[in-house]
Amino acid sequence: MILTVTPNTALDVTYTVDRLVPDEVHRVADVRRRAGGKGVNVARVLHALGADTRAIALAGGAAGRSAAQELAASGVPAELVPIAGETRLTTTVLSAADRSVTLFNEPGPEITAGEWAALAAAVARHRPEVLVLSGSLPPGAPPDGYARLAASGVPTVLDTSGEALLAGLAGKPAVVKPNARELVEVTGIHDVETAAGELRGAGAGAVVVSLGPEGMLAVTASGTWHAAPAAVLSGNSTGAGDAAVAGIALGIRHGEDWPRLLGRAVALSGAAVLGPLAGDVDLPHYHREHDRVAVRARQS
């Protein structure tokens, strides 16, 4: 089983407009609301693939209840740990004319030490084959919270940024998955391979870097590989990184080698761009593209 953890859960609200224009009033053509947060999205993708998964997340208030109801209706196995604060909203505006995507992410409610302990206890009750720790830490969470969860001995994929990423390295996660911008922010190094090597030296077993339309780079103990999609896709990219994490976690569970695992992650990332909402994947695209992703070893 793959267990995902989302400390900073969200109720995702997606608006579709004809065109996003500053200082103008917009008529919204379509509104969709669903449970979100990076780990929830990962579990949603895994569930769509038929994988054994469960999402654990913090949730509270009216938005938290809405998220819980939507998850139950979707069939994604989940355990929502209650908090006193109101679950945050994340708002995405999709512009139909130019297919641009604009996000507004709230910081999330402040949680207590007891609420964090309840989350950690919920995680400890399970014996997963792979653990996924995703997203930002909410205000009030211990700075080393991810490191504590990752130190369980279960192969862990850590997908976060900033101080949470740096502190999480102490837990020695099997994989960390920043994008190129996040990698520069935490290392100050602009060369991707060199920066990834810094994170490996600080505790990460491997580093998988999202490069947007150029694919992904994996820097590992057994080598460095670059995977590129067969074609550049346009659509909603907000869940692409989460779909890639689902692919990484599934590859670890299956014991795949790095070229196969990285190809899966890139194919799922592209399938998410074609999905209407974060957490959705175009399964025919994924199955068609999985073996078409070009994966090449980099010489050290």
pTM: predicted TM-score of the whole model, two decimal places: 0.94
Question: Which domains, from first to last, does the chain contain?
Answer: 1-141 (3.40.1190.20)
Give the residue numbers annotated as catalytic, written as ranges: 242
What are the tens digits of pLDDT across the range 228-287?
998 877 777 888 999 999 999 999 999 999 999 999 999 999 999 998 888 899 999 999
Q: Are 18 and 138 in contact (CB under 8 A)?
A: no
Mean pLDDT of all residues belonging to the chain: 95
Reported as type and span, the H/E element at residue 83 is none
What pLDDT shows up at residue 300? 59
CA distance 268 to 242: 9
Place of tokens 């694919």: 215
CA distance 70 to 72: 5
Which two structure tokens, joined as six digits, stand for 123?
């995680």
CA distance 59 to 138: 11
What are the tens digits of pLDDT across the range 156-168?
999 999 999 999 9
- In Å, the largest CA–CA distance within the chain is 54
